[in-house]
Every structure is written in structure tokens, then in C-alpha cells.
Amino acid sequence: MDIMHPKIVIGTNSWGSPLYEQVVRGSAVDEGTLAAAVQEALDQDVALFDTARAYGLGACAKIMGRVLPDEAHVSAKFTPIGRHRAGRLIDSFERDARDLGRDYLDVYWLHLPSDIEGNLLEAVALRQVGLIGHIGVSNFSLAECQLAQEFLARFDVPLYGVQNHFSLVSHGPEELRTLAWCQEQDVRYWGWATLEEGLLAKASLRLASLRDREQRLARLYSVMETVGNDHGINLAQVAIAYCRTRGVVPMVGCRRPAHVREAADAARVGLTHTEVELLEQAAELCGVEGISGSCEVFRRLMSRVRTGAGTRDDLGRSA
């Protein structure tokens, strides 16, 4: 697996206790199934797993520590919540490394655009002593990505990647500009929630708000089905192939070996320009927005803080 050119990334934000998995995904899988999914990822040469401290309410990194062999690659994030304090990113890395049972992480991300320079400086320090391979930023606007890149360049460190929300129903003008910039700058663009938490796979949906959106996506599903039939792939795979064709590295939440296999197969499918256009037109006509992430809450809070409508303490309570 070439970390500089990953085909897909396996997302782990639903890996947790049986109760947690039931709540977030409506079903739980045992650790044996996760281990089999990991083995499938190794067999398919896509063993790159993304995590963050909050995933599984803290349990995810520990599970990964138990089921991931050394040859699997790991991406983890520092989530800056509350008041900035020097040393927090390094503390977070140390906790992650301990839970994951590793002394080196392939990619470390700044999860939100908070105290960008202070936090990146700590990531640079980790990279300089060989504890992380690459530095990325997540949920950043284009201007924030540029700032991060310029800051890292002062230390001769390239910006590895941007990890933002991107899917067939979530790719606004800002995301498209950011993607184009990444492509120009040889910065990887990882798109999170490629399947919109199952909405684009017509998986059994836990949230009523997603079930409501599903009904409004009939036109898109129909185009996805036609495109999928032409390539011999299913709906989830069309959503994944769409991102790949757009030049986005799809991040797919997988807990089962079959899902890993399907994602790896989909990453090998290139859609035509016409197919991409048809899919995007159908998505736009449905007028359905994708899921919101914690980054939207974070940005709303930041703008309240900047305009004086909220206080910095709101951030610590709500992000």
C-alpha cells in the first residue's frame, strides 16, 4: 500500500462497544468480524485505517490496537476542543499511540481549524523526531489549507492532505475549489463520509432524518443503478467510484469484510465524464444535503465567538 497514493481509506468511526455500534449504526459486529475486515483490507492492499480520539467514545483506537497487525497503516487526528493549551496535540498523539499499540503513525491530522499555527508546530515537532510520517488538515476551508501549507513550508514540511466532507450529494463550490487546489499542489484530498453514513448505499438507516432524505433521493438512486449496472457494481460502489473518478480518496466506514472488498473493487472502477455529469445533475435535482459533521457545529460556534454572540467556553461544551 502506497501511503502517498491510497485508493481508499477505511473509516472506523463506528467501531466501538456493542451498545455504541447499535446506537450509531443500528447493529453491532464482534471483534472477530473487524479482524476479518482488516485481513480483507490487507489482502486487497488497502489497509489504511482512519481514526480519531472520539471514535467509539474512545474505544475505537483500543480496538484497532488489538485487531490491526503492524503492516496496516494508521491515520489519526488531534481534535482541538476548548481553550488552546501548548502540548495538547503531543499529549493526544501519545494517548493515541499508546491505545493503538504503535510508536509511529503514518498520518496525523489537525481535525479542526483551531489555533492552526500553534497546533501544526507541535505536529512538525512529532514529524522531526520520526513519530509521524505526514501532516494533514481536516475540515479546513481553502484559505485555511493555504495558510497551513505556507506555515509547514517554513519547516520544509509538505502538507500531506486535506480531509474534508465530500460525496455525491456533498460537494459545494468551496469543496470543489479546495479539491482543485489540492490537485494543483499535489496535496491528497480524502473525502469523508463517501456513503453519507449509509444514505448513498441504501443501507438500513438508523436516523429518521436520513430515512426522510432517502425518500427524496429516488431520482439519484435510479441514475446510480443505471450507472452501476453498466459497470456491474452496486449503489455503494457507484458512490465510491464517483469520488475516485473526481480525484478524491474515498473514506468508507467498514466493519465487515464484504464491505472492504466492495470498496476496494469500486476503487478500481473509473466512471466516464458523462456518467459523472448525470450523477451530479440527478443529485442536484434531488436537493438533498449530506450529513452534518462536528465541523459544522464547530464553525457555527467559531463565528458566534468571533461576533461576540458566544463565548470560548461554548466550544468546550459543544464541539
Q: Find the shortest distance in angstroms from Cβ 190 to ligand NAP.
A: 8
Cβ atoms < 10 Å from Cβ of 39:
16
| Choice between 130 and 242, CB closer to ligand NAP | 242
| Choice between 13 and 92, CB closer to ligand NAP | 13
Q: Find the shortest distance in angstroms from Cβ 72 to ligand NAP.
A: 14
| Choice between 31 and 128, CB closer to ligand NAP | 31
| Choice between 149 and 164, CB closer to ligand NAP | 164
Q: Find the shortest distance in angstroms from Cβ 41 to ligand NAP.
A: 12
Which three cell numbers, joined as nine digits, stand for 257?
469484510
CA distance 214 to 205: 9
* Torsion region of 156: left, alpha or beta (phi above 0 gives left; psi -120 to 50 gives alpha): left
Q: Find the shortest distance in angstroms from Cβ 308 to ligand NAP.
A: 27
- Which residues are CB-neighbours of 269 under 8 A, at least 6 positions away? 231, 233, 237, 241, 244
**Interface with ligand NAP (CB under 6 A):** 11-14, 25, 50, 111, 138-139, 163, 192-198, 201, 203, 236, 251-256, 259, 262-263, 293, 295
Rg (CA), the chain: 19
Where helices occur in 57-185 by DSSP H, the ranges are 59-67, 88-100, 116-128, 142-153, 173-185
Asked whether the beta carbons of 185 and 146 are under 8 A apart, the reply is no
| Choice between 55 and 286, CB closer to ligand NAP | 55
Q: Find the shortest distance in angstroms from Cβ 266 to ligand NAP.
A: 8
